[in-house]
Chains A and B, each alone.
Chain A
């Protein structure tokens, strides 16, 4: 199984809502990533977890709250988002402990904040 599965595929939420994005992989990867991608722009790194611990936070606003409950799951909790947070949110995973490894990406969650 070489898939990274993201749910939901699409999400529309109001600015006062609380929602969560979910990412799952069963490749034994211990490094997992969240990216944000606006239209016609490259993916921007948000967070990296390695061995279930947050290792990189790219100065992301606190309305985005990541969580890695176990080695297969990565969540992104959303609260009080703004319309400019509408984007494609991508999850990725890699082996940990080596840089000679490819990243596997999910198909993303397309988020619209209204």
Chain B
């Protein structure tokens, strides 16, 4: 039972353009969402998060949008840079339990020159 889904295994975007990564969830108890970035042979690193009381959170080139009614979130990267090439994981948390993150399967982003 995949509670957090990233349906696009890979995405290729030209440098300078917008990258949009999508994530869907099924568990309505999730109320906090995070994006992690992972380079090969390294552990995931935190990128940006959003609480369910908001619908948008912005940090520099990165913006996360949350549509609670659709149980959907997306990560926008503008402008995309070659250093953004990595695997991006969406993760969700029930702050009532707060003990564990549930991750999606990841989207591999390649930013081309």
- A and B from one assembly? no
Binding site for A on B (CB under 8 A): none
